[in-house]
Amino acid sequence: MKNWLYIGIGVAIAMIIILWPSSKDGYSQGVPAEYHAALDAAIAESGRADEILNLLNTTAEESQDEMAYLIVNMYAEDLRSMDLALLSENVEYAQKAREKYAWAKALPEEVYLQDVLPYHVVDEVRDSWRKELYEMFSPAVDTCKTMYDAICAVNANIPQLTGVHYNTKREKTNQSPRESMRQGMASCTGLSILLVDAYRAVGIPARFAGTASWHDNRGNHSWTEVWLDGEWRVTEYYFPSQLDHLWFMADASKATPENRTYAIYATRFGKSADDWFPMVWADEDEDGPIEDLPKWVGAENVTQHYVDLAYDQYTRHLEAGTHTFLRIAGYKEQGNTEHSEDRVAMGVDVFRGTEQMGGGLTAGEHRDMNDLFSVLLPKNTEYELRYYNAQGELQTMSVELGEEPITVEIYQK
């Protein structure tokens, strides 16, 4: 009887040795040696060693390095409780995109790991998005020859393909792709999460960017950056006329790198970040100090990059004291101007005498409430706005622009 007991104990010890890897030689050849020690620590912290080991060991050997990268960089709560099947789908479909698209194949390994492979953006619900978005957007980018073409294709198609539009009546701020698509609506944070994931699904490196508050304390804003030709470029859910030229650039020029409330941050996945992203939507005490916000989503301070971008677009004119902003908001009818659904996209042209000084569309109901059609114009000058009402009749409005920026409203009815 004792012999059988000793045999049983021996078998149990042998199984533990097989299942519990050491940093020296316990992992398969697909797991790079530099991950071994970090994997040991992650597995010990997880409280579910068998599940994580099984996940790693059942991953195709050529993808085990990517799976190991995700495991060692998982946040503590994800490590303990997230559905690990999401990681399997994530790695599988990230690889599909990398194998299919030339721009993804050409990415530096660090960029691919940091900004294509991650399974989440910020603190949104962890759900299955990569397979769905890969299948949704692949037809839109399959004929693209360059990454820039693919970026444009994703931007141009995302509202129609996902059915998601800007709307302040969404359920919550930090919606996952599934949550936004279920409702057909999201605010700037949810739209940015969805756009980042749509890019990543087809092998385009992307990250989430934003500020806790603009300089004038009117609240936070979120948007998206894409990595193109070795640089991070600025874009947004509703495609701008060109990369880096966004409606909020004038506000970004006034961001303050040294003040976390007014600085601009871009997310950085994993444990290598030396800073954190201020997720103001996670603030249980709306009046609490910003330093009390959750600090577990990594980030880098990119404020100076935005200040520099905005200089040529706006700041040099403002510093010279010769120009200021005329902002124009379009609404369906006078008296209803409080909600996003009250707004309407209206074509408007700005003239100084017979010279056209600018023109474009006012922001419609699906655009951010802070997004106003803005024209930087010489000060102390009279301008004329020209636009058509709902009956197709030409309307004109005279506007006197002085030393300070002004906002005017035009109405469709």
For residue 269, give the CATH number of its domain: 3.10.620.30
Task: Count other C-beta atoms under 10 Å from residue 196's C-beta.
Answer: 29
Per-residue CA distances from 164 to 2, 62, 70, 168, 238 (Å): 68, 36, 29, 12, 11
Question: Do both 193 and 112 map to the same domain?
Answer: yes
Give me the mean pLDDT over the 82-95 stretch. 96
The answer to whether residue 22 scores a pLDDT higher than 70 is: no
Domain end, chosen from 281, 310, 339, is at 310
pLDDT tops 60 at residue 363: yes
Closest to 281 measured CA to CA, from 185, 181, 189, 178: 189
Task: Write out pLDDT tens, residues 259-303.
Answer: 999 999 999 998 889 999 999 999 866 677 899 999 999 999 999
Q: Which residue has the higher pLDDT, 241 or 410?
A: 410
Q: At residue 304, does pLDDT exceed 90?
A: yes
Q: What amino acid occupies position 278?
A: P
Same domain flag for 286 and 138 = yes
Comparing 319 with 402, the larger pLDDT belongs to 402
Identify the residue with better confidence: 242 or 320.
Answer: 320
Q: What is the pTM of this model?
A: 0.80
pLDDT of 248 above 50: yes
215 and 138 in a single domain? The answer is: yes
Average pLDDT for residues 70-88, to the nearest whole number?
A: 95
Specify whether 39 is located in the same domain as 64: yes
pLDDT-above-90 percentage for the chain: 69
Domain end among 29, 48, 82: 82
72 in the same domain as 115? no
pLDDT score, position 79: 95
Domain count of the fold of the chain: 3
Answer whether 310's CB lies under 8 Å from 246's CB: no
43 and 106 housed in the same domain:
no
Under 8 Å between Cβ of 70 and 79: no
In a domain, 125, yes or no: yes
Q: What is the pLDDT of residue 78?
A: 95
CATH number where 396 lies:
2.60.40.10
Q: Is there a single domain that holds both residue 150 and residue 221?
A: yes
Average pLDDT, the chain: 90
Distance between CA atoms of residues 319 and 400, nearest Å: 21
Q: Which of 234, 233, 230, 232 is nearest to 222 (CA)?
A: 234
For residues 400 and 5, the model is more confident at 400
Q: Give the pLDDT of residue 365.
A: 87
Q: Which domain holds residue 42?
A: 1-82
